[in-house]
Structure 1
Amino acid sequence: MNPKKIKKYTRRVIRESKFAVAIRHILIASLGASVSVFAHARDGAQATSGKNEGVNFNSSFIHGTSVDVSRYYEGNPAPAGEYMVQVAVNGQSQGQHKVMFKPVAGSMSAQPCFAQDELIRLGIKVAARPAAEEGAQCAMVDEWVTGASANYLTSDFYLNLLIPQAYIVQRPRGYTDPALWDSGVTAGVLDYNANAYTQQTTRHYNGEKDHSASGNLGLLMGLNFYDWRLRKRMNTNWSSSASSHTESIMTYLQRDIPVLRSQLTLGDSSTSGDLFDSMMVRGIQLQSDDRMLPDGLRYYTPLVRGIAETNAKVQVTQRGQTLYETTVPPGPFELSDIGAMGYGGDLQVTVTEADGRQRTQIVPFSAPPMLLHDGVYRFGVVVGKLQDDALSEKPGVAQGFYQYGLGNMYTLYGGGQFADHYAALGLGNAFNTPLGGVSVDVAHARSEPGGGKVSSGNSFNISFSKYLDATSTDVTLAAYRYSSKGFYSLRDAALERYGSRNNDYLVDYRTRQRFTVNVGQPLWNGSRINFSGNFYNYWDERSASSQYMVSYNKSERYFSWSVSASRSYNGDGRNVNNVMLSISVPLGRSITEKPLFSTIYSTASHDNNGGSAFQMNAIGSQGMQNELSYGIGTAVNKTKDTSTQGAFNGNVNYNSPIGQLGSTASVGNKSRQLSLSANGSVVAHRGGVTLGPRLGDAPFALVEAPGAEGARMLNGYGARIDANGFAIVPSLTPYRENTVAVNTVGLPDNVDVLENESIVIPRMGTVVKVDVKTQVGVPVVLIVRDKKGQPLPIGADIFDERNNSLGIIGQGGMAFIRGWQAENSNLYVKNASGDRLCTIYSNSDIARKIIKSPGSITQAEVVCH
């Protein structure tokens, strides 16, 4: 069984255990222990193509009249109708789909049927004409595909199609069908982040006190309609020493274009920075969105080729870990979706023949960031005006970029950038070699920076990445760029020509050389050393700058520690050297209780300017989902010009269903500080207004569960169903499957969640509506008899006036139902064939009895006419 489904089934059992007495009488006593065991074991037995040997039950063991248990001959039967179910193909989830279940002659259970295009969307190869009757629009899966079958779990609404491998369309790892991408619903969104800060300090030379206060409010406002998303981001700052200031950061209208795997943006947007420096533009942009690619194509992995002499097993490992394993027939084979890890590490391919012989080959793999899979492309086109606060005039700009994977070892990319008095062209390539992954590009620019000057020059860039298997050394990125004196980036040229006369950009800060490197090396007993550095050299008036850092960290049995040393030079003629030691100690916890504090950590540092600092902190959290987090600590610091100063500090954060609240405070011998913060969201939708946690730009789910007030969302960052039946689940992953689930523990007795788990695939920035099916009403145990006083047939169903199934008749005519409006609503009893047997009419006496016992189970005897 699917692990997720097991979890769901367990939650359902916990929720329904409140009515253990009633359920024990109805389910076990009515159908007998054998029926209960059989239904549990065979729930979801092949409801379609497979032939199953049925089980007959001896009704003599069940007391009562007109016993009908024949419907359980084939397990827990699926009734006919259309259902939203979770569909899998050979165990691989394909998302939620509406599936039609049709009755089949000779079977008590309806069987799922599919149209040809439905199976094609599921990645199944279908013949032009099925084995079904000519003209059939909906046929069983084995009529479309020879040897196929279906397995349906009625309790979990889970349908697994078992398809021979030859009929499966090979798709990259992580593929989701664009037809299932959810555009969401119309909604208005307000995301806010508010902070207030106050500080009091004492001057060390005269003892006078300085007080300051400031505040900030960041807003992200939006409206989703059809496939479009309108967004406006703005920020307001206030301080006691200056008037408040509000600025609009960006405004844009955006939608995705699935057929091009791209985002179309009208308004403010930033370019990618793949070949040219990133810039903010107000205009129109069409740019690739890698999130739409399957995981197997989104990250570069090399192509593995070989030849098998027999039916052989092929295993691919990297750094001792198995990445991929498959079986191939005799002849040449090709593996392209092996899921290599990181940017490097040679792959070891082991071919094990049917007779036990093994052959091993090494495939070099060091992927530079610009390397793409064969046939995969990226692009970006933008036209508009350059946005920069340092410019007195906004020049018009246009830029284009295209990147394409040629073969599996080579990628070509290029582009152009144009503006008033500026033009640049660039070309580059990336390739994988036994020595490492390399990308090289060059750009030529011609500009007129102002004053009648015409300048032209070139910029050259090379990047390298490599994982050394022999030493496990990981060079994640080593990049070098050189720009000639005549080369101006578009922004540099615009600043030179249109820059305000009173800003720092009048100084020539253009980069001449830039070098960056990151190296990681694991050592012994779980320790590791890392080095990172960068160096910048500039033209003309600015001195060179550099930053370097080396760190060593190690995990011991009861604690972990690290030490680091850094040096920075910012061009003012002085080096700043710093050494830091950190220790972290996790505290033990019992199985049932959390400790007050979970971790204690401490840091000590010293620099060559005479400064030193020490701090020790303890942090912890409480709540089922760690809603409340907090920390306390002490800090001591000293600089060359001040005496030693100490302070006590504390912080607390609470993740509520409607947002996050936080505060920090510190008290020292010469300073005091206090801050307050609040962030969250307000969503206006067809069902009303719902408050929730901060959302950002990511898609989120709007969950509606009528009557389930107070229920927690299992993955909702503390979200709960509010009084109106809504909740917000933030931070969904776009273009990927996301599970949205309700925790039914703690619900009131008059509510039952019938479908507590949904899988959605949202588009970027969408508001996905998730409807949770609930049943609200006081639980009632009915003793149902016919006009002669005899119990009704066991196994008969009870329906309301809307044809919703409320329960099943058990032994002695007992039935457990919920939600009966006994004052003015009738109930109908039907047999397994759907024929109405009799009617239970509304009853005001029972209605009053239900009202008087809202917190318990009501029992009543009724006559079915």
Structure 2
Amino acid sequence: MKNSHSGTIMARALSAWLVCAIIPAWGKEYFDPRLLSIDGQSVTTDLSAFENSGHIPAGNYLVTLYVNQIAKGDYALDFKPDAQGKIIPMITPALLDELGVNTSALPTLRTLPRDAPLDDLASVIPDAFFSLDFPQLRLDLSIPQIALKPSAAGYSDPSLWDQGVPAMVLNYSLSGGRNWQSLGNGSPDSTQDNLFLSLRSGANWENWRLRSQYIYTYNKGHSSGQPGLRTHTSDFSNTYLQTDIQPWRAELAIGETSTGNDVFDSIAFKGVRLNSNDQMLPINQRGFAPMISGIANTNARVTITQNGNVIYQTYVAPGAFRINDLHQTGLGGDLLLTITEADGSVRTQTIASSSLPVMLRPYVSRFEITAGRYDGGVTLHSREAPFVLGTLIYGLPHNFTLYGGTLVADDYLSAAGGIGLSMGSLGALSADVTAARARLDDNEGLRTGNSYRVRYAKNVITTGTSIDLAAYRYSTRDYYSFADFNNAGYELTPGQLPWTLARQRSSFQARINQQLNAWGALYLSHSRYDYWGNDEVNTNIAAGYSTSFHGINYGLAYSVSRVQRQDNSWPETRQIALTLQAPLDLFTGRASLRNSRATYQISRRNDGELQQQVGLSGSDGQGRLSWNVSHNRSNQDEKASSSNLNLGYQGSNGAANLGYSYSDSYRSLNLNGNGAVVVHPQGMTLSQSTGDSIAVVSAPGAAGTSVMNGGVTTDSRGYAVVPYLSNYQSNAISLNPSTLPDDVDLTQSTVNVYPTKGAVVLANFATRIGLQALLTLTYQGQPLPFGTSVAVEPSNHGEADRGIVGDAGQVYMNGLPESGTLRARWGTAEDQQCEAHFDFSEQRPEDQKGPIRSQSTTCYRIDDERHLSLRSSLHEVSLP
């Protein structure tokens, strides 16, 4: 029996061993908090929140939220344990709806309360999950695309749209120059001065926007022994009051502005306009201003006019230039580019500004209703005929769009109709016809004619081909546009080109870009106009090719434009130019020369003139300061060789450029400057030139902090202006924390704003101004336990005023006043907390180690009599 009992015990032991060997053991690492006690005293810290890797304590945290890697802004979210004890963010259906989730289409979300936190995100949205980067306070949500709203990529909730604050904005652009000419051969010396000032002003009140533009030009010529000829113009234009009507997805403008150009040619007028605003759509097609390119031989003045009004003027350095910051002005007609060289020669080029073919989604409409008086500016006077205009564009199924309209005035009537078609891989095409009937003051009765137009656009991604616009128009002999009708029989304003009043017979415009991958890129811009009643043909071509090889950039450009001669004729001139550009570090390997370049350009014109130019250019590491030095030489006249110097600066408060040219026959000095002044409820802030909508950054005390990509920094008060925002869309405004002053900290580094058209919105950043300190805390002669929570008393910033004790009782705190009180807790019992006082007011600067202060202080029990007497002797200190 004994042996049998012993065998039974052995069998059971063997079975238990086999079970333990077969079934995996479960357990977890455990750290005994008593090891952190002070000399065996029962002051251990509650470390349960830190037992698991990646575990965070429950609480409220300000996190930057991303949905499918797209930033959605900063949100203060509660983090609480779920049924399994895992700390998760409290995400509600209302928050998901704000982030673009199609909650109305998900059955599991429709039945839940809007503010009820979700315990399991994947149970209501299959395959959805979240991840938290706690050190960066970044919360990523991964949501399947099928669960998002159809337009979530560009959608913003209209309830978030911000009309902004009362404000005034003044954009200024100033350019001036002086030219000294000495032709010799007994010719008198002469001097020419010119000045151009453009002021674009605006005032905002609630949802109303008042806008106006002021243009001033001054020109003076003086010859030896002769009185100077002085001319100047001063004019206010484009003065209007505007507001948006959000339920109609429309805007109302009263004053001087222009009609749209989708159906009829754009018309400058004074009156009232009500039209659709596609910028309110989640996915929209914004208006555009064409990019303008050209070639300057010297430090040249570039002027752009539209409808006879100067809308842009600047000086450019010798060589190829591009203008891509042209302010959108309604696109009321083609643009005229005039290049005035330092030697006085003038070249012109017409830039087509027609819009793309009109295409809308099915059952989407776009409308315009305008009543006013014609206000064109190419003639000294005009009929200024009052008129009423209405247009409608409507999208149909199967990729069709219908559009049409009518214009009615005294002695003038016009009607237009057309169709647009999206042909998929073949591009988009539109065709329309406009019929007009006009009665002129020449006793020849009615003039009736038609104008036919075809437009085409195509973007082939696989081949890199982009046909931005190809348009052809033919008008019959008796067709008069509304501008022709108003200007007929009146004299051109001074400075207008002689063919301005000629009625077009046909026109062709094309803009094509071709990407060649590693072989570079090609571009072509071409326009051709002919006119009724004369044989004049106006042709403009700009074409080019650019590539790079072994770090050297190559460019070939060809242009055809009109050049003014001394006999006031404007013959065509053809010019071809080859440009080579190489960074200087390519030859020396020195990193300091990385932003410096050597340039060589050779150009030839059809009159046989050959010009060569060599130059050096560069900029500082931040791209704020730029410089350019060059020398030109011509084969036709040794005295025509010239040298040029240009300096430029781009800062947070504006930009400035200085240019100087010198030759044996002339000298030229010019200066450009532009920027803006913004007056808002919190003061006045200087800025770079601004766009339609802007944000005023408010970070009190954070002077010199970089905003966005570093192109803008805050001023001495902590304010800055972000100049270009997207209307009715989310704009993330961010500050770079690494550029903050030593005594300033942010509770958030990104703010999202949703401006309406023309709004000035505030981007408020909560700053904590105070000291950074490394405190060593002791309790009853020993360092405080590892993991002890330390908080400032009283707390002004919630979780931001807390720290956790590390080794040797040390805790890092920021945003501290010079003196104050800290409360430490390492458990829930009353004897597991204490208070300590700190005071840096008498610390000498030489005792500091960099921006971080250091101090050792003793922590006393809150009911300790010594502590109470010490506390009563200290004055109360609160955080700023």
| TM-score, structure 1 normalization | 0.75
Distance 2:489 2:369 in 1: 25
Match of 1:820 in 2: 816
Q: Alpha-carbon deviations, 1:663-683, whole Å to 9, x = none?
A: 111111111111223222222
Q: Secondary structure at the match of 1:179?
A: helix
Structure 1 residues 73, 280: closer, same or farther in 2, change over 3 A? farther
Tell me the amino acid that sits aligned with residue 442 of structure 1. Answer: V
Q: 1:701 aligns with which of 695, 698, 704?
A: 695
Q: Alpha-carbon deviations, 1:525-555, whole Å to 9, x = none?
A: 7266655433222122563333346545554
Structure 1 residues 121, 548: closer, same or farther in 2, change over 3 A? closer
Match of 1:729 in 2: 722
Structure 1 residues 388, 567: closer, same or farther in 2, change over 3 A? closer
Match of 1:386 in 2: 374
Distance 1:521 1:744 in 2: 41
| 1:152–1:158 Cα contact (<8 Å) kept | yes
Matched, 1:512 2:505: yes
Distance 1:485 1:716 in 2: 57
Distance 1:595 1:134 in 2: 63
Tell me the amino acid that sits aligned with residue 407 of structure 2. Answer: Q
Aligned-residue CA RMSD (Å): 4.0
State how many pairs are aligned.
738
Q: 2:641 aligns with which of 615, 640, 646?
A: 646
Q: 1:685 aligns with which of 680, 689, 711?
A: 680
Matches within 5 A, 1:303-452: 369-389=357-377, 390=379, 391-392=381-382, 394-433=384-423, 437-452=428-443
Match of 2:592 in 1: 594
Structure 1 residues 723, 737: closer, same or farther in 2, change over 3 A? same
| 1:449–1:497 Cα contact (<8 Å) kept | no
Match of 2:748 in 1: 755
| 1:523–1:529 Cα contact (<8 Å) kept | yes
Structure 2 gap ranges (5+): 1-26, 221-228, 288-354, 863-880
| 1:711–1:743 Cα contact (<8 Å) kept | yes
Match of 1:809 in 2: 805
Distance 1:132 1:479 in 2: 50
Structure 1 residues 55, 467: closer, same or farther in 2, change over 3 A? same
Match of 1:34 in 2: none
Matched, 1:66 2:66: no
Match of 1:629 in 2: 626
| 2:367–2:393 Cα contact (<8 Å) kept | yes
Q: Secondary structure at the match of 1:493?
A: helix
| 2:210–2:241 Cα contact (<8 Å) kept | yes
Distance 1:165 1:54 in 2: 38
Q: 2:667 aligns with which of 655, 663, 672?
A: 672
Distance 2:831 2:255 in 1: 62
Structure 1 gap ranges (5+): 1-52, 300-366
C-alpha deviation, 1:619, in angstroms: 1.4
C-alpha deviation, 1:594, in angstroms: 3.2
Structure 1 residues 724, 378: closer, same or farther in 2, change over 3 A? same
Distance 1:628 1:472 in 2: 35
Match of 1:616 in 2: 614
Match of 1:77 in 2: 56
Matched, 1:112 2:112: no
Distance 1:136 1:124 in 2: 13
Match of 1:743 in 2: 736
Match of 1:345 in 2: none
Match of 2:238 in 1: 250
C-alpha deviation, 1:180, in angstroms: 3.4
| 1:828–1:839 Cα contact (<8 Å) kept | yes
Distance 2:260 2:120 in 1: 48
Distance 1:136 1:479 in 2: 52
Matched, 1:847 2:841: yes
Distance 2:130 2:594 in 1: 51
Q: Alpha-carbon deviations, 1:134-181, whole Å to 9, x = none?
A: 878432263882655544444444333445666443336433433333
Match of 2:260 in 1: 272
Q: Alpha-carbon deviations, 1:439-475, whole Å to 9, x = none?
A: 1100111222334542221111112345789998765
Distance 2:405 2:371 in 1: 14
C-alpha deviation, 1:402, in angstroms: 2.0
Structure 1 residues 378, 591: closer, same or farther in 2, change over 3 A? farther
Structure 1 residues 374, 750: closer, same or farther in 2, change over 3 A? same
Q: Secondary structure at the match of 2:685?
A: strand
Distance 2:516 2:140 in 1: 47
Tell me the amino acid that sits aligned with residue 755 of structure 2. Answer: P
| 1:253–1:266 Cα contact (<8 Å) kept | yes
Tell me the amino acid that sits aligned with residue 670 of structure 2. Answer: S
C-alpha deviation, 1:694, in angstroms: 1.7
Structure 1 residues 667, 142: closer, same or farther in 2, change over 3 A? same
Distance 2:442 2:150 in 1: 61
Tell me the amino acid that sits aligned with residue 701 of structure 1. Answer: A
| Farther-moved stretch of structure 1 (735-744 vs 124-133) | 124-133
Q: Of the two, which has the highest radius of gyration?
A: 2
Match of 2:322 in 1: none
Tell me the amino acid that sits aligned with residue 68 of structure 1. Answer: D
Matched, 1:228 2:175: no
Structure 1 residues 557, 591: closer, same or farther in 2, change over 3 A? closer
Matched, 1:124 2:86: no
Q: 1:543 aligns with which of 532, 536, 541?
A: 536
| 1:569–1:575 Cα contact (<8 Å) kept | yes
C-alpha deviation, 1:249, in angstroms: 2.2
Matches within 5 A, 1:30-41: none
Distance 2:700 2:179 in 1: 47
Structure 1 residues 736, 58: closer, same or farther in 2, change over 3 A? farther
Structure 1 residues 743, 145: closer, same or farther in 2, change over 3 A? same
| 1:95–1:737 Cα contact (<8 Å) kept | no
| Farther-moved stretch of structure 1 (523-532 vs 392-401) | 523-532
C-alpha deviation, 1:511, in angstroms: 0.8
Structure 1 residues 174, 71: closer, same or farther in 2, change over 3 A? same
Q: Alpha-carbon deviations, 1:727-786, whole Å to 9, x = none?
A: 222223334443333233354432334432334443333223222333322222333345
C-alpha deviation, 1:513, in angstroms: 1.3
| TM-score, structure 2 normalization | 0.74
Distance 2:200 2:823 in 1: 52
| Farther-moved stretch of structure 1 (513-522 vs 406-415) | 513-522
Tell me the amino acid that sits aligned with residue 621 of structure 1. Answer: S
Distance 1:58 1:181 in 2: 54
| 2:62–2:74 Cα contact (<8 Å) kept | yes
C-alpha deviation, 1:703, in angstroms: 1.7
Q: Secondary structure at the match of 1:169?
A: coil
Structure 1 residues 373, 699: closer, same or farther in 2, change over 3 A? same
Structure 1 residues 468, 154: closer, same or farther in 2, change over 3 A? closer
Structure 1 residues 62, 730: closer, same or farther in 2, change over 3 A? farther
